Structure formats: C-alpha cells, structure tokens
C-alpha cells in the first residue's frame, strides 16, 4: 500500500468513526452534506391510490432492495385490529398491505409473514377487513397470533416495560415492516407506526396498567422496524381507534414512508393536526434515540402522485 | 334377498358396517361441532343442530317438519334416529365396542351383557323433561360432556371450572355404564323413550324366526341395547335402534330386518307391544312440552325475573335470549351456542342455562353466531343491526377505580373497544394532557368490552345482565363539544403541514 493511500484510508475511516459518534440528527446532516444525491429520510406522498403511492414512494427511497435482501424473512405488520369494513379506515388498506408484500417478494424475500394480534376476534377481523384475502392472493403468509402459545417472553431494556411476550415471528425474522393506518386514538392520542407495534405482543393489558405511552415507546427496545409505511388514505379523526361512523373519516389520500419510525410518526401526526411532541409515545421514542422527531432536520421528499 | 344363512350373514355384515360408518361419522361431526369455534364451521354446525330432535321439538315452526319426519320414521321403521344420528348413542356404543375388544378372562365375562328389562318407571323422565328438566336431554349431556372433556384436557383439573367438570363427569358416567352394559342411558333418554313408544308397533323391524333359532345367545351378547332375549326368543322392538348387529351375529340367519308378521300377536303381546296408556301420555306430554316447560320453569328453575320491564339479573344472557323466563323454557342446554361463540365467552351455568362470562373476552359487535346456531330458538336469530341495538347488560363506570385517575396515566382501553361509543375519552381537566372515560348509559349494549379490557385492579366497570333485553338507540351521535375537541386538519386540502 502506498503511503498516500494509507493516509487517505485512515483519514476516511476516522471521519466515518467520528460521524458515528455524533448525535443522530447531526449525523444525518453530515451524511447529507457528504452525499447530496443520497435517498431522502422520509417520503411523503399525496393524491393517488395506496398501491400507486407506495410504488412511487419506495422508488424514491431507493427501492425496497435497500431494506429487504434476497433470501430474508420479512414480517409485515399491518393494523388488522377490528372487524369493520375497509372504508371504516380502522384497519390498514388491504391494497397497501398486498403491495408491500409483493415488493418484498419481488426483492427476493424467502417468506413474508403478515402479523397482527387483532383486538376483535381474529378471524372476523382478518376476513372483514379484506386483509386475509389480499395477503393470500399476493403470496404472503398470515402468521397465526390468536393464542398465547405463539408468543415468547423476552426481556426489554425499556424504562417502564422490562419484559413482555412478543410474537415468535419477530424473533426469527430479518426485517420488520410496520404498515399502520393513521388514525386518532382516544387513549394514546394517535395510532401510527410505533403504536402499531402493540399488535406484536400478547398482553396489551400490561401496557395499559404499567403506563400506555411509555410501554408503546419501550417496545422499540425489543424490535425496531426497518421500514415504516403509513397509510393515510382514509383517516379516522375522532372516536379512534375503532371509529365506526363515516362522519369521522376524512379522505386524505396520503402516505408517509420512512425507515425512521419516529420521523414517520411525527410527519403523520402533523397530517392529523397534532404536534408530535404532544404525543407521549412519539416524544419518548425520540428521547430514547429511536429517530428524529424534528422534521426540519430531515431530508424529506414531497411527491404528488 | 339372500336365503342361505351364510349369505344372509354376509349381507347384514355389510349393512351393519355401513350403519356403523354413518353413525361414527355423525359422532365425529358432532364432536367437531361442539369443539370448533372456527367460523367456517358455523353453517354446518347450524344445519347439523337443526336436524337434531330435541331442539327442533322446542323450536317448532318450520322445524316441526324435522320432528314429524323423525316421528314418522319411528312409527313406520323404528328408531333410526337413535341408531344413526344420535351422537350420545354412538359414543356409548363405541365405548362398549372398545371395552368388549379389550376385556379378557373374567372381566370379559362381566362385560358381556345379557338381556336387560328396564324399569317401567323411567317414563317419569318424560314428564320431568316436559316440565323443563334439562339434565336428561341427550344433547345436553353430549354437549356439556364434550366441551367439558376438552376444557378439562386443555386446562387440567386445577384450572377447570366446577361446572365444566360436572359436564365431563356426567358424560363419563354415561360412558362407564356403556363400557359395562352398552347403551344403557338410551333407556333413560327422553328422546329415546318417545321414539320407543312410537316404534312399538312399527310394521318394519327386526324379526326373529324362532323355528330357525338355535338359542346360541350370540345376538344377546352382541346387542348394544341389550334388548334381545335369546332364551325366550323375545325382542324389545321399542328399544331396538336397528344397528343390525344381531342379524350380523346370527349363525343360522334367524334374524333379519323386514316387514314384521302380525299373525301371532295375541292380546297379551299386543298390550305389551303397545304399552300402557300412562307411558303414551308421558310421551305426549314430552312432545307437547313447549307450553309445559313454561309452566315448569316456575317450579324447577325458580327465582327468574319474567316481568316485561327490564330488570337486573345475576347473569348476562346471550343476545337474542330476550327474557330469562322464555330462555329457560326454550333452552335445551346443548351448548351449541358456547361452541359457536368465536371468543368462547358463553359458559355453562349450574342451572344448565348458558350465560356470558366476560373474563376472557367480550361479545363481538358484528357477531350473531349464537343466535344462528341455537337449535331450540332459545336465542333468537337476530339480524345484525338488531343485535347491535339490543342491550344484554348494562355497564357501570366507577371513576375512582380508573387508572387515569389512580395513576395519572393514559389509558382509554375501554373507549377503544366500545362499539357504540357509549364510552368516550374526554379531557380530564383544563391543563392535563390526559383523557378520561365518559360513560353514556343510554347507548350501552352490555357487550362487556370495557370490563374485559379494563386494566384497573379492581376493575372500573361492573356489568349487570338485563332481562328482558331492551332496544337501545344504537350508536351515540357526535356531540358538539367533541367537534370542538378535534383539532382542525391542516392537511385536508392537499399539501403537507411539514
């Protein structure tokens, strides 16, 4: 190795290591400064169907191949909590769920499991929402989640949540993709990507008794999604999370895609007219360093499809 | 028709085998019907339960056709229902088959039954059943037993509820008798006795040719009903369930199924065959038991509120039960509703009346499966919209118990699951970011969601059953202050607020 080359390499490694030591937000700034043509941190889309927006948005992020590698097992986590029709907007759009699965499979994923521990009876919720049919049609696998046997107790390094029973598929999968639907939530304020992960555990009651906001944020210590796709086509603005009346549903035709779960939640909360730092679990997740709550520090690509 | 003894035996071996296949299929189907809560079983479960006798008898209406059909078959051809369809009968027979195959030596001798002449007094069962006693209903014993067995197997002795154990114990007792003496319960079964009375003088039945009979006793040992007396060449045709096993076992071909000759029927035999008037009266009482059951519930299952004004009762009845008196009169305690309930919250009670237990789940807003499956019409098959406006219980919110108050933390689990918005989360105070449940009792349908999900200890909700079940206005409309609480959407027009 040439002396010059050695110095150059050492220097670049040193700069890289130094960048890693910087706070997350600054790091993003540094990396942005270093490569202006790097993919955005967050893509916000408006104006089309969920599938078309996802196609466009994931392409802007550099393609699903950035997050899902060939041969990997993926868990897609939509919201399938309620036995309500698709237009009630309480569950993720089946069209979007199917599209995300298809992209993962096209990227060479070995297996795409679709997981949610429904609140209402699972079979009715999966069939009633149309998600069971959509998953089956596109080649995803519905991961059974209705009995405690599918969950394993793990330790969580959270401030409030010290341990919980999480679905076994999360222990085995390579990538977790959170595909929530944006909606108002009477207890948690809003229900977006972080809150969506509450459907990965067995005992939701535990969150409510220990402290809902803190536990929702603490789950990220156990497992953090590699990608978050927020469905904001139809949005429940009141009486969430179940809704049930069309007068509470607003058609927004929007979608937020980001690998940064806090940023995705922050941007989505703003769509709903809420300040991200007012929502306990988003603020706590940001404070614990799971992502950037300040949207001004992110490279955001806004697209009208 | 085969003529030689050997050909006849082969003929009946095939027929008996066919009947055994059908009966066993019905038994396996019944076990599945009573254990699976999967939605794809619901249609089959309802159809299967509808052709069963006791439920159709209570329900009447179009199902009276099923009742009359089974009775007509019994009057003409014998107890085909008991031999082919009844799962409790087949279960007993299966146990006896196993015990007969497994037993050796002295035990085998003990387990090989002889002709048994049952007590005449058993007809009292018909009167009691007509008055509403559910303990002898074959579907009640089978349903409670199978569900009890499976719950026991899943949870173990320590965790199983006493009533689950009772169901399993009664079923086990019936099967233990069966291991030693065949279908002994059938002699005490109200449905079986009624079919027996009907088929006493049936023109078709098992015939015994005494001239050919060598009194070897094979048929007597083989008969699962113990209704063949080989020594005296006697055959209790009112107890015969046409299993054809006797004809199969006969080495000389003296037994077969066909048109019974009535030539040798003397006065005495005729009287024995047709039975005495009291037995027939009891049978009629059972068949017309519907109004009697209503009368009987005040003696047998007392302490029931039957008024027309909604009043609190100590148990929550399934949606569509309407009022507890009517429910008690109609229910045959088969627990098909419990099996059909996707969340498994319908439980057996000590009075053999199913009720809703919100410990492990709550009544699903869109679900009407219990009413769809109920064979007796005890739970009305309500249209979904009507069920969603039917109050089965009334919730009561105790604010001091709520975790928002006791621990000053977010919750909202109750309002989240409340399907009619009777519960909503309203701001706790001017400067608090917390929201606290606000309950509007008018819209509560008593689904039990709030009670089930409430994390507080003790719970912030109490749920009290209501009878009769009144109608509610449905979903609570949005209040003006809720619009004020909802922030305006900055992004409804198309841009991004960031």
Digit-coded pLDDT (tens) for A50-83:
999 999 999 999 999 999 999 999 999 999 999 9
Query: Is the CB of residue A118 less than 8 Å away from at least one CB of chain B?
Result: no
Q: Where are the domains of chain A?
A: 1-37, 39-304
What percentage of chain A carries pLDDT values higher than 90? 81
* Regions in chain B scoring below 50 on pLDDT: 263, 302
Q: Are residues A244 and B486, on separate chains, in Cβ contact within 8 Å?
A: no
Name every chain B residue with its beta carbon within 8 A of the beta carbon of A206: 455
pLDDT recorded at residue A164: 96
* Residue B491 domain-assigned (yes or no): no
**Do A185 and B489 make contact, defined as CB atoms within 8 angstroms?**
no
Residues in chain B: 498
End-of-domain residue from the set B284, B317, B336: B284
- Which pLDDT score is estimated for B267? 56
B100 and B153 both lie in a single domain: yes
pLDDT in the model for residue A104:
97
Torsion A124-A129-A130-A131 (CA) sign = negative
The CA distance from B452 to A221, in Å, is: 28
- B492 CB burial (10 A radius; 0-12, 13-18, 19+): middle
Tell me if B360 is assigned to some domain.
Answer: yes
Chain A residues in contact with B491 (beta carbon < 8 A) = 252, 254, 270-271, 273
Q: Would B485 be classed as within a structural domain? A: no
Q: Which of residues 133-162 of A touch B (CB under 8 A)?
A: none
Taking the C-alpha atoms of residue B183 and residue B194, their distance in angstroms, rounded to an integer, is 16
Domain span holding position B429: 393-479
Q: Is residue B486 part of a domain?
A: no
Q: Are B69 and B163 in a shared domain?
A: yes
Query: Which tokens hold the place of B297?
Result: 């519930």
For residue A205, give the nearest of B39, B365, B453 by CB distance: B453
Has residue A174 got a pLDDT over 80?
yes
ipTM of this predicted structure: 0.82
Specify the pLDDT at position A199. Answer: 96
A299 touches chain B (CB under 8 A): no
CA pair distance B355, B368, nearest whole angstrom: 15
Tell me, yes or no, whether B63 lies in a domain: yes
Say if residue B358 is in the same domain as residue B397: no
Instruction: Choose from A209, A249, A279 for mutation: most chain B CBs within 10 A.
Output: A209
Q: What is the pLDDT of residue A196?
A: 97
The number of residues making up chain A comes to 305
Residue among A119, A187, A254 minimizing CB distance to B411:
A187
The closest alpha carbon to B200, from B21, B75, B285, belongs to B75
Residue B302 pLDDT: 47
- Architecture of the domain defined by A39-304: 3-Layer(aba) Sandwich (3.40)
Q: Is the pTM of this model over 0.95?
A: no
Asked if residue B324 and residue B237 are part of one domain, the reply reads: no
Instruction: Name the DSSP letter for residue A45.
Output: E
B35 and B138 share a domain?
A: yes
As a whole number of angstroms, the distance between CA B224 and CA A280 comes to 70
d(CA A217, CA A277): 13
Residues of B with CB under 8 A from a CB of A: 38-39, 342-343, 364-367, 403, 407, 409-413, 415-419, 421, 424-425, 433, 435, 453, 455-457, 475, 478, 482, 486-492, 494-498
User: Does the pLDDT of residue A106 top 70, yes or no?
Assistant: yes
Contacts of B385 in chain A (CB under 8 A): none
Shortest alpha-carbon distance between residue A293 and chain B (Å): 12
Distance from the Cα of B420 to chain A's closest Cα (Å) equals: 8
In this structure, are B196 and B334 located in the same domain? no
Are B365 and B303 found together in one domain? yes
Dist. CA B61–CA B243, nearest whole Å: 31
The pair phi, psi for residue B390, each rounded to 5°, is: -105, 125
C-alpha dihedral, B452 to B453 to B454 to B456, nearest 10°: 100
Of A187, A266, A274, the CB nearest to B413: A187
SS3 call for B405: helix
Report the pLDDT value the prediction gives residue B200, as an integer from 0 to 100.
83
Co-location of B472 and B349 in the same domain: no
Q: What's residue A30's pLDDT?
A: 47
Which residues lie across from B463 on neighbouring strands?
B395
Considering CB atoms only, which of A47, A123, A208 is closest to B38? Answer: A123
Q: What is the CA radius of gyration of chain A?
A: 19
Measure Cα distances from B118 to A91, A286, B89, B177, B270 in Å.
Answer: 62, 79, 17, 14, 19
Q: Do B409 and A205 touch (CB under 8 A)?
A: no
**Same domain (yes/no): B279, B305:** no
Can you tell me which residue has the tokens 């439920």? B55
Residues A188, B417: C-beta atoms closer than 8 Å: no
Q: Which residues of B touch A301 (CB under 8 A)?
A: none
CB nearest to B410's CB, from A83, A188, A267: A188
Kind of pairing, strands B423-427 and B461-467?
A: unpaired
Whether B364 sits inside 8 A of A187 (CB atoms) is no
Q: What is the DSSP string of A275-294?
A: -GGGSHHHHHHHHTTSS---
Confidence of residue A25 (pLDDT cuts 50, 70, 90): very low
CA distances from B431 to A146, A165, A190, B434, B450 (A): 40, 35, 19, 9, 26
Residues 44-73 of A with CB under 8 A from B: 44, 46-47
Same domain, B310 and B404: no
Domain boundary residue among B325, B356, B387? B387
CA distance B264 to B207: 13
pLDDT confidence of residue A33: 46
In a domain, B487, yes or no: no
pLDDT at A101 over 70: yes
What's the DSSP call for residue B407?
A: S
pLDDT (0 to 100) of residue B490: 73
Q: Are residues B194 and B338 in the same domain?
A: no
B108 within some domain? yes
pLDDT of residue B398: 95
First to last CA, chain A: 51
Residue A128 reports pLDDT greater than 50: yes
Where does B55-197 show beta strands of DSSP type E? none
| Chain B positions in Cβ-Cβ contact with residue A211 (cut-off 8 Å) | 407, 409-410
Cα(B183)–Cα(A147) distance, integer angstroms: 38
Interchain proximity B413–A208, CB inside 8 Å: yes
Q: What is the mean pLDDT of chain A?
A: 90
Residues 225-284 of chain A whose Cβ lies under 8 A from any Cβ of chain B? 237-239, 241-242, 244-245, 247-248, 250, 252, 254, 266-267, 270-274, 278, 280
A-B contacts at Cβ under 8 angstroms: 130
Residue B289 lies in a domain: no
Q: How many domains does chain B have?
A: 3
CB contact under 8 A, A280 and B39: no
Residues B382 and B402 in one domain: no
Q: Do B456 and A245 touch (CB under 8 A)?
A: no
The arithmetic mean of pLDDT across residues A159-179, rounded, is: 96
Q: Return the CATH number at B451.
A: 3.30.70.20
- A208-234: pLDDT as tens digits: 999 999 999 999 999 999 999 999 999
Using the beta-carbon criterion (under 8 Å), do B421 and A123 form an inter-chain contact?
no
């Amino acid at each position: 190795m040439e002396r010059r080359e050695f110095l150059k390499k050492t220097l670049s490694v040193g700069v890289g290591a130094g960048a890693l030591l910087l706070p997350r937000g600054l790091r993003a700034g540094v990396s942005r400064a270093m490569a202006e043509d790097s993919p955005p941190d967050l893509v916000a889309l408006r104006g089309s169907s969920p599938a078309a927006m996802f196609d466009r948005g994931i392409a802007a992020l550099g393609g699903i191949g950035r997050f899902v590698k060939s041969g990997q097992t993926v868990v897609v986590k939509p919201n399938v909590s309620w036995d309500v029709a698709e237009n009630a907007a309480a569950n993720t759009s089946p069209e979007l769920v199917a599209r995300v699965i298809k992209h993962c499979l096209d990227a060479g994923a070995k297996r795409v499991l679709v997981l949610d521990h429904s609140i209402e009876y699972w079979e009715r919720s999966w069939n009633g929402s149309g998600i069971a049919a959509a998953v089956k049609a596109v080649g995803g696998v519905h991961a059974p989640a209705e009995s405690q046997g599918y969950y394993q107790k793990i330790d969580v390094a959270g401030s409030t949540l010290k341990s919980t029973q999480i679905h076994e598929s999360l222990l085995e999968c390579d990538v977790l993709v959170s595909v929530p639907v944006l909606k108002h939530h009477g207890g948690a304020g809003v229900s977006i990507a972080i809150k969506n992960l509450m459907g990965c555990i067995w005992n939701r009651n535990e969150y409510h008794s220990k402290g809902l906001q803190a536990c929702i944020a603490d789950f990220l210590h156990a497992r953090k999604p590699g990608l978050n796709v927020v469905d904001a086509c139809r949005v429940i603005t009141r009486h969430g999370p179940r809704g049930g009346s069309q007068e509470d549903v607003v058609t927004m035709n929007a979608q937020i895609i980001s690998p940064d779960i806090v940023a995705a939640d922050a941007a989505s909360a703003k769509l709903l007219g809420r300040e991200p730092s007012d929502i306990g679990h988003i603020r706590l997740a940001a404070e614990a360093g799971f992502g950037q709550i300040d949207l001004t520090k992110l490279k955001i690509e806004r697209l009208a499809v | 028709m085969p003529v030689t003894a050997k050909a006849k035996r082969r003929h009946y071996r095939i027929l008996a085998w066919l009947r055994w296949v059908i009966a066993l299929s019905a038994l396996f189907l019944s076990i599945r019907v009573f254990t699976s809560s999967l939605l794809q079983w619901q249609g089959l479960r309802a159809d299967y339960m509808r052709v069963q006798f006791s439920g159709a008898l209570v329900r009447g209406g179009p199902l009276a056709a099923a009742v009359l059909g089974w009775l007509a078959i019994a009057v003409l051809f014998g107890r085909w229902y008991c031999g082919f369809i009844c799962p409790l009968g087949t279960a007993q027979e299966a146990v006896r088959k196993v015990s007969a195959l497994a037993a050796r030596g002295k035990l085998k001798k003990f387990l090989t039954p002889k002709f048994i002449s049952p007590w005449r007094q058993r007809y009292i069962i018909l009167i009691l059943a007509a008055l509403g006693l559910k303990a002898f209903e074959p579907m009640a014993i089978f349903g409670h037993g199978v569900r009890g067995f499976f719950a026991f197997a899943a949870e173990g002795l320590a965790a199983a509820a006493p009533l689950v154990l009772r169901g399993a114990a009664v079923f086990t007792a019936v099967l233990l008798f069966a291991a030693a003496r065949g279908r002994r319960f059938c002699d005490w079964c109200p449905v079986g006795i009624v079919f027996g009375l009907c088929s006493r003088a049936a023109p078709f039945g098992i015939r015994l040719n005494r001239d050919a009979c060598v009194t070897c006793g094979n048929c007597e040992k083989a008969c699962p009903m113990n209704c063949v007396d080989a020594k005296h060449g006697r055959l209790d045709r009112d107890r015969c369930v046409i299993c054809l096993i006797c004809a199969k076992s006969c080495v000389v071909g003296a037994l077969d199924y066909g048109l019974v000759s009535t030539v040798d029927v003397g006065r005495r035999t005729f009287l024995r065959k047709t039975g005495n008037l009291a037995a027939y009266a009891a049978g009629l009482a059972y068949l017309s038991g519907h109004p009697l059951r209503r009368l009987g519930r005040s003696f047998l299952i007392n302490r029931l509120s039957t008024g027309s004004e909604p009043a609190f009762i100590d148990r929550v009845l399934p949606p569509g039960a309407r009022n507890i008196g009517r429910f008690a009169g109609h229910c045959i305690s088969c627990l098909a509703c419990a099996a059909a309930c996707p969340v498994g919250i319908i439980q057996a009670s000590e009075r053999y009346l199913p009720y809703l237990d919100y410990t492990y789940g709550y009544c699903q807003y869109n679900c009407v499966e219990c009413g769809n499956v109920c064979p007796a019409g005890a739970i009305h098959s309500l249209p979904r919209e009507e069920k969603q406006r039917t109050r089965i219980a009334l919730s009561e919110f105790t604010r001091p118990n709520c975790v928002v108050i006791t621990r000053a933390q977010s919750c909202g689990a109750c309002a989240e699951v409340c399907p009619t918005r009777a519960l909503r989360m309203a701001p706790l105070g001017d400067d608090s970011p917390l929201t606290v449940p606000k309950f509007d009792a008018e819209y509560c349908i008593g689904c039990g969601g709030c009670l089930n999900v409430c994390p507080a200890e003790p719970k912030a909700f109490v749920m009290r059953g209501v009878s009769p079940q009144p109608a509610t206005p449905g979903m609570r409309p949005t209040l003006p202050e809720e619009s004020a609480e909802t922030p305006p959407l900055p992004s409804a027009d198309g841009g991004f607020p960031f």
